[in-house]
Amino acid sequence: MTDLESSITNILIALREDPAREGLINTPKRVAESLTYLTKGYHENLDAILNDAIFDSPNTDMVMLRDIEFYSLCEHHLLPFFGACNIAYFPKGKVIGVSKLARIVDMFAMRLQIQETLTLNIAEALQSTLGTPDIAVTIQAKHMCMMMRGVSKQSATMSTSSFLGTFQEHEHIRREFMLRASIDQLS
């Protein structure tokens, strides 16, 4: 039994459950495997994820990927929060393979954190990776710590943003990004 499995067994005992009960016999192992998977972002490397998928491009117009779904765990309660991330940037001679944007979101989402930190981590990673100061990241998420316990607000959605470079400096560019991010369907 791993340290994590032993810890889960101790949690079950502290909750006045019987870890030897039929339905709980393999629970410590399953929870340990689940938590290891859900926090695998700690063991991922940005360079390995990119895998040389940065390409030369003459494009200087806004590049955007919307509605990148993600799942994360809040560092305060170890309960899930989940939602969608929107990313945009202005290339400075380089563009990134589109699937790498989603992989970067996943790498940072699969760590214990708060949504504000997740948003900023994604923006800063893209800024350093692409060599452009012009990055926008927004996240809209539902938090199980708000829904299942405490205030029990089922419809509350938290929004965070990180605007760097041109997106921070120019309101009209920020508005264009926000408009694109809010479009429900592509025409």
Work out the burial of residue 146: count CB atoms within 10 Å of its CB; fewer than 13 is exposed, 13-18 middle, 19 or more buried: buried
75 is catalytic: yes
Please state the rounded mean pLDDT for residues 147-151: 85
Please say if 143 is a catalytic residue.
yes
Same domain, 98 and 31: no
Q: Which of 77-86, 87-96, 147-156 has the lowest mean pLDDT?
A: 147-156
Q: Which one is catalytic: 17, 77, 168, 176?
A: 77
Domain boundaries, position 93: 46-182
| pLDDT band, residue 184 (cuts 50/70/90) | low
Q: What domain count does the chain have?
A: 2
Across the chain, mean pLDDT equals 94
Same domain, 95 and 21: no
CATH of the domain at 50: 3.30.1130.10
Query: Does the active-site annotation cover 145?
Result: yes
Residues 120-143 have pLDDT tens digits of 999 999 999 999 999 999 999 999
The active-site residue, picked from 5, 85, 113, 115, is 115
Residue 43 falls in the annotated catalytic set: no
pLDDT digits (tens, 9 = 90+) for 26-82: 999 999 999 999 999 999 999 999 999 999 999 999 999 999 999 999 999 999 999
pTM: 0.92
The answer to whether residue 127 is catalytic is no
Q: Is the same domain home to 28 and 100?
A: no
Same domain, 59 and 113: yes
Among candidate residues 76, 116, 169, 170, the one labeled active-site is 76
The catalytic residue among 17, 44, 140, 145 is 145
Question: Which residue among 75, 116, 169, 170 is the active-site one?
Answer: 75
The DSSP code sequence of the chain is: --HHHHHHHHHHHHTT--TTSGGGTTHHHHHHHHHHHHTGGGG--HHHHHTT-EEE----S-EEEEEEEEEEEETTT--EEEEEEEEEE--SSEEE-HHHHHHHHHHHHSSEE-HHHHHHHHHHHHHHHHT-S-EEEEEEEEEHHHHTSTT--SS--EEEEEEETHHHH-HHHHHHHHHHHH-SS--
16 and 62 together in one domain: no
Please pick, among 85, 113, 127, 143, the residue that the annotation labels catalytic. Answer: 143
In a domain, 20, yes or no: yes
